[in-house]
Amino acid sequence: MAAISLKNIVKQYGVGKAAVQVIHDVSAEISDGEFVVIVGPSGCGKSTLLRMVAGLEEITAGTISIGVRVVNDLEPAERDIAMVFQNYALYPHMTVFDNMAYGLKIARVPKDEIRARVEKAADILELMPYLDRKPRALSGGQRQRVAMGRAIVRQPQVFLFDEPLSNLDAKLRAQTRLEIQKLHRELGITSLFVTHDQVEAMTLAQRMLVMNAGVMEQFGTPAEVYNTPASTFVASFIGSPPMNLLKHAPGAIEGSILGIRPEHLEVGSEGWALTVEGIELLGAERLLYCRLQDEALIVRIHEEQQAPTIGETIYAKPRADRMHRFDARTGLRV
């Protein structure tokens, strides 16, 4: 296992006036054994950052270290990492055992050690009953576990996951998230996990690195990112539904955007006068889509609370200890 250090990482395509910079001065220190999720919308540079750690993309400037080694100029095979992709990339003509063992055979690992490593990984991932099957006889979730098993048997210092759950349906994604958490508890290997899904990020990460247009907007625990977002981008990207961001709410300061999460607006007999424009029932809770003068906002209420009707005026009081302020010009937290 090993820590990962990213210092002032820059990625640029092209040169001169035609140059396009896609990663802007990213620095982060990832501890030995830590599970870090890189999250952001499509095109924000998260996979590019991961591929630079893997050695699949050259860096333009900065330093990447894995353990005590600077790996800027090392080939992927020399970095002691294992990568799990969105595409399982299994050999269709090979059994599960042979798919997991293939890299070890190429490396000329002794047969007894190969069997021991594959069976240990298969036991962790609950794949023992499927070792003699071929990929076509497996479900999507099982194939993804085989891909993870292939990475585990390498016994790398670092795991790199590039949106590995994107091809799974919602139920399998939730199940596989639990398996990845279990895997990390069992092995404790330093892991970087890329996703565009903020729910995956919140549930998997020990810390999360939020990317936006090649810039690291925030690096912190899920609780820190959710409760004290560093910018309006983080506030609107992390959380479902997102934080309400209001420019003209009562009590707003000139030049400052007021932020309040839907669950921190308390419906009662006083507060902001809101017109209800829509209601969404989500099992144990309801989302009220409202308008405050000329701005839209969302209020979350419990199912046991009496639901208003469309067009009704309700009153909601923001919790003073849960209000956030952001600079209207820069979007940064005040």
pLDDT at residue number 125: 86
Please count the residues of the chain.
334
Closest CA to 1 of 28, 25, 24, 35: 35
> Is residue 246 predicted with pLDDT exceeding 80?
yes
- Going by pLDDT thresholds of 50, 70 and 90, the confidence category of residue 63 is very high
Average pLDDT over residues 201-221: 97
pLDDT higher than 90, residue 12:
yes
Joined together, the tokens standing for residue 6 give 């990213």
Among 176, 207, 169, 170, which residue's Cα sits nearest to residue 84? 176
pLDDT for 304:
87
Strand order across the beta sheet in which 69-70 lies: 20-30, 4-13, 61-66, 69-70
Which tens digit of pLDDT belongs to each residue from 173-182? 888 888 889 8
**With contact defined as beta carbons under 8 Å apart, do 241 and 259 qualify?**
no
- Note the pTM of the prediction, 2 decimals: 0.90
pLDDT-derived band at 101 (thresholds 50, 70, 90) equals very high
Quote the CA–CA distance of 20 and 334 in Å, as a whole number: 31
pLDDT band at 117 (very low <50, low <70, confident <90, very high): very high
Q: Where are the domains of the chain?
A: 4-234, 258-327
Q: What is the mean pLDDT of residues 57-82?
A: 95
Please count the CA atoms within 13 angstroms of the CA of 105 that sit on its side-chain side. Answer: 9
**Residue 96 — pLDDT band, cuts 50, 70, 90?**
very high
Least confident of 176-180, 263-267, 291-295, 325-329: 176-180
Q: Are 208 and 217 in contact (CB under 8 A)?
A: no
In this prediction, residue 148 has a pLDDT band, given cuts at 50, 70 and 90, of: confident
Q: In angstroms, rounded to a whole number, what is the distance separating the alpha carbons of residues 105 and 234?
A: 45
Strands, E, within the chain: which ranges? 4-13, 20-30, 35-39, 61-66, 69-70, 81-85, 158-162, 190-195, 207-212, 215-220, 244-246, 256-260, 265-268, 272-282, 285-292, 295-302, 313-318, 324-327
pLDDT of residue 34: 97
Do 147 and 102 form a contact (C-beta atoms < 8 A)? no
3-state secondary structure 62-84: EEEEECCEECCCCCHHHCCEEEE
What's the pLDDT at 239?
92
In which residue are the tokens 């900065």 written? Answer: 62
CA angle 81, 154, 64 (to 5 degrees): 10
Contact status, residue 303 vs residue 284, Cβ threshold 8 Å: yes
d(C-alpha 52, C-alpha 10), whole Å: 10
In this prediction, residues 155-179 reach a mean pLDDT of 86
Residue predicted with more confidence, 52 or 126: 52
- What is d(CA 243, CA 300) in angstroms, rounded to the nearest whole number? 11
Equal CATH topology for 4-234 and 258-327: no
pLDDT of residue 210: 98
Quick one: pLDDT band at residue 233, thresholds 50, 70, 90? very high
Q: Hey, what CATH topology would domain 4-234 get?
A: Rossmann fold (3.40.50)
CATH fit for domain 258-327, picks 2.40.50.140, 2.60.40.1180, 3.40.50.720, 3.20.20.105: 2.40.50.140
| Percentage of the chain exceeding pLDDT 90 | 74
What is the model's pLDDT at position 161?
Answer: 93
Q: Is the model's pLDDT at 208 over the cut of 90? A: yes
On the question of pLDDT at 66 being above 90, the answer is: yes
